[in-house]
Amino acid sequence: MLKGRPVRLVDATTVKEPGKTGGQWRLHYSLRLPTLECDHFELTPAKGKNTGERLGRFVLQAGEVVLADAGYSHPPGIAAVVRQNADVCVRLNPASLPLLNEQGRPFPLLRRIKTLQRAGQKAAWPVWVQSGDQRIAGRVCGVRLSDEAIRRAQRKLTLKQQQGKSAATPETREYANYILVFTTLPAQQATTRQVLECYRLRWQIELTFNPQISQSG
């Protein structure tokens, strides 16, 4: 799919020591495709400085493609990947990854994605990310979800709002209708469809690693 380039999946999860007084820790790890070999394993406290999900904690090889969920959607992390001559496909969190147009002004993401009106309709737009003095070129690749997937996503937002976990604003409800992925992969190396299909591979880290964590706890 990506012309033989190595692919790495990254994630983090919280684990708890056995017993009522057991402490909580955050486990940061990465897996390689297609072998699903774990090549990075780091344990930090669950809370505190430098304990969150960030791409900068991973040492990458030039040419690698990193797949990550929205928790890693931050300008410093994107910059850390690019500095190592690697590329990233990350689920976009518009709140934590501000996007700019070519002139350096805020990119009108909501207006653009509303043009995707049919289930399965795809599009991509060139965008830029600013991290300090570093300006990074990329693309947002988007696809509109099916009607049933949209209903499930909206119900999930409503439930979180009822539980007091988050506020379902009109913007978040609109974003929930799509899969949005930010990537630094050039268009000549990966089409919009290929980027979205590549990101779907990230679920391998959920399906293969998290069950091992729950069994070991």
Query: 112-140 b/e with 16+ CB inside 10 Å = b?
Result: bbeebeeeeebebbebbbebeeeebebbb
What's the pLDDT tens digit per position in 39-58? 888 888 888 777 778 899 99
Residue 212 has pLDDT above 50, yes or no: no
What's the pLDDT tens digit per position in 60-103? 999 999 999 999 999 999 999 999 999 999 999 999 999 999 99
Residue 6 has pLDDT above 70, yes or no: yes
Query: What is the distance between the alpha carbons of residues 17 and 194, in angstroms, rounded to a whole number?
Result: 40
Amino acid at 172: T
The predicted pLDDT at position 165 comes to 81
Residue 175: exposure state from Cβ atoms within 10 A (0-12, 13-18, ≥19): buried
Residue 209 has pLDDT above 60, yes or no: no
Amino acid at 179: I
- What is the pTM assigned to this prediction? 0.88
The three state secondary structure string of 64-109 is: CEEEECHHHCCHHHHHHHHHCCCEEEEECCCCCCCCECCCCCECCH
> In the structure, what pLDDT confidence band is assigned to residue 177 with cuts at 50, 70 and 90?
very high
What's the pLDDT tens digit per position in 96-149? 999 999 999 999 999 999 999 999 999 999 999 999 999 999 999 999 999 999
- Give the containing element (helix H, strand E) for 3: none
Q: Strand order in 87-91's β-sheet?
A: 37-45, 24-33, 7-16, 65-68, 87-91, 178-183, 134-144, 122-131
Q: N- to C-terminal Cα distance for the chain?
A: 36
Enumerate residues 6+ apart whose C-beta is below 8 A from 56.
76, 77, 80
122: nearest Cα among 139, 105, 142, 136? 142
Q: Is the dihedral of CA 7, 54, 194, 84 positive or negative?
A: negative
Question: What percent of the chain clears pLDDT 90, i.e. is strictly above it?
Answer: 65
